[in-house]
């Protein structure tokens, strides 16, 4: 009995006394509940795929990378509370969040605290313009996205000169991102010779868009430029068909990029274009393999949101490997010197045209063809040509 007790005690002491594997912990602020939870879950999937890959390849200088994830509940107040916690905890950097209305205040707070921030999903120009030496964004912004749309419209106009594209109607939510993208869209429309014949913002939570869409029908715009979140875009598309609002080109940002958009509106989704930072069929090395891994982790069809989550963490890991993880200044300097290629995009942070810490990523235009998202622009990255013009609802 004495021998058995002694052996058990020795085994216990050996476990307790064994040094735990060293870890590098970073903070993540993500929308896992509230209005933006559907997007937050997609970002979490991408982060996890990246985390698995990073740790399978040796982690950070031989130490396992871990994520401390806090839910911002889709509101700035909770995000700032999480950021304050991370700042006092001493994490080397923070990744966050989805909505620009959340990430904007987050960027300002972490700049004051001198904590590096990698933007997760927010795209409002103001986050990196004028920006901060402590804030870095690998994904696109509203200037890049709006330019991608109008480059696409110009491409269609030049490809089929017998289908004139001269007028644009714009419909957008009153949140930070939709407003930012609409503002830049209006500037580009004027610059490139398009006449804006409809310009309407709407309050988040509106469900009946028919009065606006009927007014747009009277304007007979060639291009519909719509910026809406998930449920808004579904309602707008259904009601466009209901009231018979036709256009030669229909672009719906954010909502139409989700696989659920196609599932919810069915064949009405066909011909709709949307801008994204990544797609499974884009001609980047490793894109298809990443798609398979994201799909397996998500248990369903992934989108560019999962890819952006993956990208943010891969950028963080690259910087941490080149820095002293215990020094935020060292991490900030490493982020500023980033120059990597991933299956999502290449990343190097630039200061140009009033932006700071912004990756000059190329946005892609997807078009929904036969119920599937297909990369159609830019031409050198496209999987298929665009289907143009969009047929009238009555002839589909």
pLDDT value of position 181: 94
What confidence score (pLDDT) does residue 204 get? 82
Q: What is the pLDDT of residue 229?
A: 83
User: What is the per-residue pLDDT for 37?
Assistant: 93
Q: Quick one: pLDDT at residue 230?
A: 79
Q: Which residues of the chain have pLDDT under 70?
A: 1-21
pLDDT tens string 199-218: 999 998 899 999 999 999 99
Query: What is the model's pTM?
Result: 0.88
Task: Spell out the domains of the chain, with CATH numbers in brackets.
Answer: 23-140+283-358 (3.40.50.2300), 143-276+364-395 (3.40.50.2300)
pLDDT at 21: 60
SS3 labels along the chain: CHHHHHHHHHHHHHHHHCCCCCEEEEEEEECCCCCCHHHHHHHHHHHHHHHHHHHHCCCECCEEEEEEEEECCCCHHHHHHHHHHHHHHCCCCEEECCCHHHHHHHHHHHHHHCCCEEECCCCCHHHCCCCCCCEEECCCCHHHHHHHHHHHHHHHHHHCCCCCCCEEEEEEECCHHHHHHHHHHHHHHHHCCCEEEEEEEECCCCCCCHHHHHHHHHHCCCEEEEEECHHHHHHHHHHHHHHCCCCCEEEEEEHHHCHHHHHHHHHHHCCCEEEECCCCCCCCCCHHHHHHHHHHHHCCCCCHHHHHHHHHHHHHHHHHHHCCCCCHHHHHHHHHCCCEECCCCEECCEEECCEEEECCCCCEEEEEECCEEEEEECHHHCCCCCCCCCCCHHHC
């Amino acid at each position: 009995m004495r021998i058995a007790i002694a052996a058990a005690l020795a085994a216990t002491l050996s476990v307790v006394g064994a040094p735990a594997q060293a870890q590098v912990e970073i903070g993540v602020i993500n929308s896992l509940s509230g209005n933006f939870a559907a997007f937050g879950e997609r970002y979490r999937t991408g982060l996890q795929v990246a985390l698995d890959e990073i740790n399978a390849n040796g982690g950070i200088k031989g130490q396992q990378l871990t994520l401390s994830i806090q839910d911002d509940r889709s509101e700035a107040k909770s995000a700032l509370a999480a950021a304050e916690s991370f700042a006092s905890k001493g994490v080397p950097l923070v990744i966050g969040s989805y909505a620009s209305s959340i990430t904007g205040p987050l960027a300002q707070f972490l700049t004051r605290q001198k904590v590096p921030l990698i933007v997760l999903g927010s795209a409002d120009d103001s986050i990196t313009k004028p920006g901060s030496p402590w804030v870095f964004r690998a994904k696109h912004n509203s200037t890049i996205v709006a330019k991608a749309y109008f480059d696409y419209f110009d491409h269609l106009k030049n490809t089929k000169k017998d289908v004139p594209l001269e007028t644009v109607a714009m419909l957008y939510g009153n949140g930070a991102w939709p407003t930012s993208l609409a503002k830049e869209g209006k500037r580009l429309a004027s610059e490139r010779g398009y006449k804006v014949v409809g310009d309407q913002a709407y309050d988040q939570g509106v469900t009946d868009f028919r009065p606006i869409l009927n007014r747009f029908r009277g304007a007979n715009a060639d291009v519909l430029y719509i910026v809406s979140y998930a449920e808004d875009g579904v309602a707008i598309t259904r009601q466009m068909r209901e009231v018979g609002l036709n256009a030669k080109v229909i672009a719906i940002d954010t909502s139409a990029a989700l696989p659920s958009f196609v599932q919810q509106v069915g064949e009405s989704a066909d011909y709709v274009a949307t801008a994204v930072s990544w797609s499974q069929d884009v001609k980047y090395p490793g894109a298809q393999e990443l798609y398979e891994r994201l799909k397996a982790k998500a248990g369903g069809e992934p989108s560019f949101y999962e890819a952006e989550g993956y990208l943010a963490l891969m950028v963080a890991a690259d910087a941490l490997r080149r820095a002293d993880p215990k020094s935020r200044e060292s991490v900030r300097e490493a982020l500023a010197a980033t120059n990597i290629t991933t299956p999502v995009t290449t990343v190097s942070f630039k200061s140009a045209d009033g932006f700071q810490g912004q990756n000059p990523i190329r946005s892609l235009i997807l078009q929904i063809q036969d119920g599937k998202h297909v990369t159609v622009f830019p031409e050198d990255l496209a999987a298929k040509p665009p289907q143009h013009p969009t047929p009238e609802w009555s002839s589909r």
